[in-house]
């Protein structure tokens, strides 16, 4: 990350997304699914923040609310698309028409490279669509821009007239990356971009994303259920559980010294090549499933599955607080617990 890119690009304050539950003859609202329930964080230009957690924790909904694919129920999404000296714009307050000129600065890479590409369109049409819709380029100029984007992500330009079914999963995801880069965005929200790919192909896409970040000074919000995936691409990691962030920390510190029992359980599943830790490492198997966000437990949402829980955990909700410099955790006993981590090598600074 260069010095002039260290300004805050994105700030999220008390973000909530509650989906109504309807029932009865008149389809009255009888409750809400609290998919995102008070999330706050910031991301600097050129940084990668990972949102991690089990399925149903709210990480994908958080990404889609930030991208304004969903309208937030509450909170602020402050975005600075115009550079370090530009004012921040609250995306949460804007309507679709007001959002349109800002969407080119924030793009998404989706999880499934098979369903996210229109099978009836050529690669030229798919990658060129954002350029065409935003009236950035057309005709020969558009085709040249698509060729440049294909080269940038490692695709051969002669494939430009082919359809998605002619490509492998990894190639299709490269097409998705090229489409996301078409308008030169500053922020990319990557929603499980490698989870549908083979392990060997995952590494190729992750390396591609890291290279593109360095070359184009991109900022990533990287969503994943797997801490093994994010450890080499992230600067900081936010661990989510039932719509809330339970831990937020620089990647090295989070992996070495987790502060929340849920993070410790996720880390116990991370594969390590270090024989000293591999042989002594014990997998923590959490009992039960992620609670229903429409009817979460009282107190700490994690207490029914936590081996360290005490009576206070059943009644009092722990706030997300700074336990160590730069390390935040929502646990009553974060200072007292000595939780097991894993070694991380070659991680970002």
pLDDT along the chain (349 residues), means of 10: 69 96 83 95 97 93 96 97 90 94 93 86 95 87 95 96 94 96 96 90 95 96 93 95 97 95 93 56 80 94 95 96 96 95 64
- Decide the pairing of beta strands 48-52 and 219-224: parallel
Going by C-alpha positions, the residue among 108, 107, 79, 105 that lies closest to residue 93 is 79
At CA 235, angle to CA 187 and CA 184, rounded to 5? 20
Given this model, what pLDDT does residue 112 score?
81
Reading the block at residue 59, the tokens are 């990480």
Given this model, what pLDDT does residue 2 score?
42
Given this model, what pLDDT does residue 275 score?
54
pTM of the model: 0.91
Given this model, what pLDDT does residue 99 score?
94
Q: 3-234 has which CATH code?
A: 3.40.50.300
Contact between residue 169 and residue 196 where contact means Cβ atoms under 8 Å apart: yes
Going by C-alpha positions, the residue among 193, 184, 212, 224 that lies closest to residue 49 is 224
Given this model, what pLDDT does residue 4 score?
47
Task: For residues 19 and 21, give the distance between their C-alpha atoms in angstroms, rounded to a whole number.
Answer: 7
How many angstroms from the chain centroid is the CA of residue 189? 6
């Amino acid at each position: 990350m260069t010095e002039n890119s260290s300004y805050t690009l994105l700030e999220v304050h008390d973000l909530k997304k509650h989906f109504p539950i309807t029932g009865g003859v008149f389809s009255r609202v009888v409750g809400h699914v609290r998919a995102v329930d008070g999330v706050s964080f910031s991301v600097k230009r050129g940084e990668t923040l990972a949102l991690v957690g089990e399925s149903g924790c709210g990480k994908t909904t958080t990404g889609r609310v930030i991208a304004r694919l969903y309208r937030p129920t509450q909170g602020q999404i402050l975005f600075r698309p115009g550079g370090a000296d530009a004012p921040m714009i609250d995306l949460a307050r804007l309507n679709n028409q007001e959002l349109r000129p800002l969407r080119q600065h924030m793009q998404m890479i989706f999880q499934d490279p098979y369903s996210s590409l229109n099978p009836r369109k050529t690669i030229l049409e798919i990658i060129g669509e954002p350029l065409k819709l935003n009236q950035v380029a057309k005709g020969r100029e558009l085709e040249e821009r698509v060729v440049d984007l294909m080269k940038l992500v490692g695709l051969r330009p002669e494939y430009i007239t082919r359809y998605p079914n002619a490509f492998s999963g990894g190639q299709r995801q490269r097409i998705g990356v090229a489409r996301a880069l078409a308008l030169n965005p500053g922020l990319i929200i990557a929603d499980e971009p490698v989870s549908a790919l083979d392990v060997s192909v995952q590494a190729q896409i992750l390396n591609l994303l890291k290279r593109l970040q360095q070359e184009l000074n991109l900022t990533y919000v990287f969503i994943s259920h797997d801490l093994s995936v994010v450890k080499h691409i992230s600067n900081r990691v936010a661990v989510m559980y039932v719509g809330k962030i339970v831990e937020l920390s620089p990647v090295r510190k989070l992996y070495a010294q987790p502060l929340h029992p849920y993070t410790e359980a996720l880390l116990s599943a991370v594969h390590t090549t270090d024989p000293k830790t591999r042989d002594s490492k014990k997998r923590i198997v959490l009992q039960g499933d992620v609670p229903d966000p429409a009817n979460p437990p009282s107190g700490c949402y994690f207490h029914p599955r936590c081996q360290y829980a005490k009576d206070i955990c059943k009644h009092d909700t722990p706030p997300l607080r700074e336990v160590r410099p730069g390390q935040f955790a929502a646990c009553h006993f974060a200072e007292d617990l000595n939780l097991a981590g894993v070694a991380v090598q070659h991680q970002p600074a």
